[in-house]
Structure 1
Amino acid sequence: MGCALSGLGVEPAKEVPDGLGSAAKNRSSWKAEEEGSKATKPRTLSEAQKLLIQDSWRSLHQDITRVGIIMFIRLFETHPECKDAFFLFREIEDLQDLKMSKQLQAHGLRVMSFIEKSVARLTQEDKLEQLATDLGRSHYKYSAPPKYYQYVGVQFIGAVKPFLKDRWTLEVEEAWEGLFAYITTLMKKGYQEAERGCGMNKSTDPEKTETSSIGSIQNSV
């Protein structure tokens, strides 16, 4: 089977360790979050990092459709188990066919739109926090667990490097790693809040509790 990325002029994705890219400090902190039980207040970005992200995003904006496709193809190449969270194209085995999937293109654009909104809110921390937390809550509804979130940041960075070429520097990479670490922590927080809220609703709903009890009794008869 031919590589799905060859027609896009980008090298196939390589397996990446847990964490984001080459910045050791961010990678270590991300791994600690992955192994921890609860998300904490994320570390904010410096003003210089925000400017680097905004500037690089302006350079990427015209290519966001291609970046979205490449990002997800890379994601499914390196972590095929992630396809389980996408019922629309989980059955598509051939990555070349997946690259042509309208559903994949649409989802890639939705992710790019979220990143664009995040970049626009870099100077409005309360709004960015709300945006990312709400996204985590919605992912609970879609049964997309937090263990997958960090991989998207890894593959986004891998996808955009060829587009920025010599404009991609270690400082730019660390800035984007910091943003994805920030977003991922808040998404995990939102997911956990939704999970706890769902658990509380189930335990406090008398009708559901009674129905569950009746079902247990019937099954035991």
Structure 2
Amino acid sequence: MERKQGEVDHLERPSPLTDKERVMIQDSWAKVYQNCEEAGVAILVRLFVNFPSSKLYFSQFKHIEDTEELEHSSQLRKHAQRVMNALNTLVENIDDSEKVASVLKLVGKAHALKHKVDPVYFKILSGVILEVLGEEYPEVVTPEVGAAWTKLLATVCSGIKAVYEEVGWTQQSTSSG
């Protein structure tokens, strides 16, 4: 069992970011973060439109079907700001693994214990973030920069998944995901 667990960890744990990748992420993020609110809202609206089940975790706006109404929801805007601030903290501290781990622990514990969000949504959200950044900032998020972001977000998902396991998260559905 132990060896199998190690093999799974090895497959799911992304390789560390190179210095070049860290610089590319920080440079591209600086441009994205200038439009922090718009980018955050675009990411969450895309998430909720493409993955409606993700809205069920938000009592304040889970009933809103209209995309424009979602975009103007003050609760959605507040959550978008929190998501962007968390990403900003990760990017700003990309060289400080302890700070990154503490942010992931905070986010992971809150989403596992308080909000009971299935961890699969972090993978889904990562894909949406990559999609929106690539579309909204094509001159900044080139394929090479996108690859660095993919690696960073895989690291985030891996870290959050570890926090979920640490707090004893049990799958709420019957899927074996």
TM-score by length of 1: 0.68
Aligned equivalent of 2:41: 69
Aligned equivalent of 2:88: 116
CA contact 1:74–1:155 (8 Å) conserved in 2: yes
- Cα separation, 1, equivalents of 2:59 and 2:73: 13
TM-score by length of 2: 0.83
Question: When the two structures are aligned, how many residues end up with a matched partner?
Answer: 161
1:10-89 matches, within 5 Å, as 41-89=13-61
- Cα separation, 2, equivalents of 1:188 and 1:168: 26
Aligned equivalent of 1:90: 62
Deviations 1:176-205 (A, max 9, x none): 111110001111111222236xxxxxxxxx
Quote the offset at 1:43 in angstroms. 2.9
Q: Which amino acid aligns with 1:83?
A: K
Q: Which amino acid aligns with 2:19?
A: E
Aligned equivalent of 1:173: 146
Instruction: Say which one has the larger Rg.
Output: 1
- Cα separation, 2, equivalents of 1:41 and 1:169: 24
Aligned equivalent of 1:164: 137
- Quote the RMSD (CA, aligned, Å): 2.1
Find the residue that maps to 1:82 and give its secondary structure: helix
Find the residue that maps to 2:79 and give its secondary structure: helix
Percent identity reads 28
Structure 2 stretches of 5 or more lacking a match? 1-7, 170-177
- Cα separation, 2, equivalents of 1:138 and 1:191: 10
CA contact 2:14–2:151 (8 Å) conserved in 1: no
